[in-house]
């Protein structure tokens, strides 16, 4: 088969690879569409020690089962493989499993014509669907989990407040889309890429601003979603959130930097970290997309898997207007 293989920092190659070796309980999935995640980009740049080359990256995927359980069915793949036996798994918090593994990190991923995955990680698509849109289920599940956590701890329902989303990649835009689905009427999205801002503005989901030229109101937002996760965006989040508000930290841009802990303490601000999603969040995201609840989702950039190396270079150079590139074998 052919696959896009991460060779070394800043080097990814489309080349022949051996067919996947299936483990007991695995199904073999033929890839229809697979998205490039920010974490794939971090790996490509050599910033993720967990992803050791040579490695087939990719974990945002829709395909068809060609061997094993659900053979012949269109599926969206939950890439998070958990033990199913620890207290967190038994409590439904599969994303907190200490024995969790991820395709495209701990085992070969989906930037390939085929890959293997435990059958329990397959979510069948009701009546079939658009594979490119369904490949957005993974980042949608990340966003859904984040919004759900904020809704759970917020002093008032999200439908009664306002929200700021920092970062206009797929997770940021999907946060805005899901906030709207939750009934939030006042949503501002901050993004520095002017091309991407135009794409997001065309969706009509939220107000858009560029923080390099537009001011972000201080002490104004009930909820702030940081989908970038660097020191600067954390500082922006703390300035922007109102007393009693919540900051949802999603992005993993860097791990260091100052935070105004004094304001957080004196203003009773809740700061929440989040990692991926539960199995139920993922299933809900798949069904929401299949039903069209998250809109047209027509803002993706589709490209052949064979052109993946060029896609990575353009992402690094900031030349991509779309919030998400989807590759198709």
Is residue 48 within 8 Å of 39, Cβ to Cβ? yes
How many Cα neighbours within 13 Å face the side chain of 145?
Answer: 27
pLDDT digits (tens, 9 = 90+) for 166-195: 999 999 999 999 999 999 999 999 999 999
* pLDDT (0 to 100) of residue 111: 98
Look up residue 107 and give its DSSP letter: B
State mean pLDDT over 290-301.
Answer: 97
Helix (H, G, I), strand (E, B) or coil at 302: strand
* pLDDT (0 to 100) of residue 12: 98
Residues whose CB falls within 8 Å of the CB of residue 87, separated by 6 or more in sequence, listed in order: none
* pLDDT (0 to 100) of residue 257: 87
Cα distance between residue 277 and residue 101, in whole Å? 13
Look up residue 158 and give its DSSP letter: G
What are the φ/ψ torsions at residue 14 (nearest 5 degrees)?
-90, 115
Beta-strand pair 60-67/55-56: unpaired
Beta bridge partners of 75: 63, 124
Is residue 151 within 8 Å of 240, Cβ to Cβ? no
State mean pLDDT over 42-47.
Answer: 95
Instruction: List helix spans (H) across 82-136.
Output: 87-90, 131-134
Whose CA is closest to 137, among 63, 195, 44, 206? 63
Look up residue 215 and give its DSSP letter: P
pLDDT of 90 over the 90 cut: yes
Whose CA is closest to 251, among 229, 235, 273? 229
Work out the mean pLDDT of the chain and round it to a whole number: 97
For the domain made up of 2-136+297-328, give the CATH fold: Quinone Oxidoreductase; Chain A, domain 1 (3.90.180)
State mean pLDDT over 40-49.
Answer: 95
pLDDT of 105 over the 90 cut: yes
The domain over range 140-273 is classified in CATH as 1.10.10.10? no
pLDDT digits (tens, 9 = 90+) for 106-137: 999 999 999 999 999 999 998 889 999 999 99
Is residue 135 within 8 Å of 22, Cβ to Cβ? no
In this structure, the number of other CB atoms found within 10 A of the CB of residue 266 comes to 10
pLDDT of 77 over the 90 cut: yes
Is residue 76 within 8 Å of 132, Cβ to Cβ? no
Rounded (5°) CA angle 119-125-127: 135
pLDDT confidence of 79, banded at 50, 70, 90?
very high
Cα distance between residue 168 and residue 94, in whole Å? 27
Is residue 147 within 8 Å of 158, Cβ to Cβ? yes
Sheet of strand 241-249: strand arrangement: 207-209, 186-190, 162-166, 221-226, 241-249, 270-273
pLDDT of 239 over the 90 cut: yes
State mean pLDDT over 252-259.
Answer: 88
Beta bridge partners of 33: 62
Cα distance between residue 61 and residue 149, in whole Å? 25
pLDDT confidence of 258, banded at 50, 70, 90?
confident
Cα distance between residue 192 and residue 174, in whole Å? 17
Portions of the chain given CATH number 3.40.50.720: 140-273
Using only C-alpha atoms, what is the Rg of the chain?
19
pLDDT digits (tens, 9 = 90+) for 17-27: 999 999 999 99
pLDDT confidence of 234, banded at 50, 70, 90?
very high
Portions of the chain given CATH number 3.90.180.10: 2-136+297-328
In this structure, the number of other CB atoms found within 10 A of the CB of residue 207 comes to 14
């Amino acid at each position: 088969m052919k696959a896009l293989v991460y060779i070394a920092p800043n080097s990814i190659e489309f080349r022949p690879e051996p067919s996947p070796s299936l483990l007991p309980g695995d199904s073999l999935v033929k890839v229809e569409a697979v998205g490039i995640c920010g974490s794939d980009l971090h790996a490509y740049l050599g910033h993720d020690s967990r992803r050791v080359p040579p490695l087939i990256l990719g974990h945002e995927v829709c395909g068809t089962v060609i061997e094993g359980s659900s053979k012949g069915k269109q599926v969206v793949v939950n890439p998070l493989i958990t033990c199913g036996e620890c207290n967190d798994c038994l409590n439904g918090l599969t994303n907190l499993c200490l024995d969790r593994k991820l395709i495209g990190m701990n085992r070969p991923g989906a930037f390939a014509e085929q890959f293997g995955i435990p059958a329990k990680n397959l979510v069948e698509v009701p009546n079939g669907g658009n594979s490119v849109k369904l490949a957005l289920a993974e980042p949608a599940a990340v966003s859904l989990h984040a919004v759900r956590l904020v809704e759970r701890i917020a002093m008032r329902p999200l439908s009664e407040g306002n929200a700021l989303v920092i970062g206009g990649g797929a997770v940021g835009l999907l946060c805005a889309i899901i906030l709207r689905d939750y009934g939030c009427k006042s949503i501002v999205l901050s993004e520095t890429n002017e091309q991407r801002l135009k794409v997001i503005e065309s969706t009509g989901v939220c107000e858009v601003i560029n923080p390099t030229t537009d001011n972000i109101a201080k002490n104004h937002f009930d909820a702030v979603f940081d989908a970038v996760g660097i020191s600067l965006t954390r500082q922006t989040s703390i300035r922007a959130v109102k007393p009693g508000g919540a900051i949802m930290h999603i992005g993993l841009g860097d791990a260091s930097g100052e935070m105004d802990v004094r304001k957080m303490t004196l203003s009773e601000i809740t700061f929440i970290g989040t990692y991926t999603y539960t199995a139920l969040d993922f299933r809900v995201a798949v069904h929401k997309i299949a039903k069209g609840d998250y809109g047209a989702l027509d803002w993706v950039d589709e490209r052949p898997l064979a052109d993946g190396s060029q896609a990575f270079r353009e992402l690094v150079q900031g030349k991509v207007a779309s919030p998400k590139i989807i590759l198709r074998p």
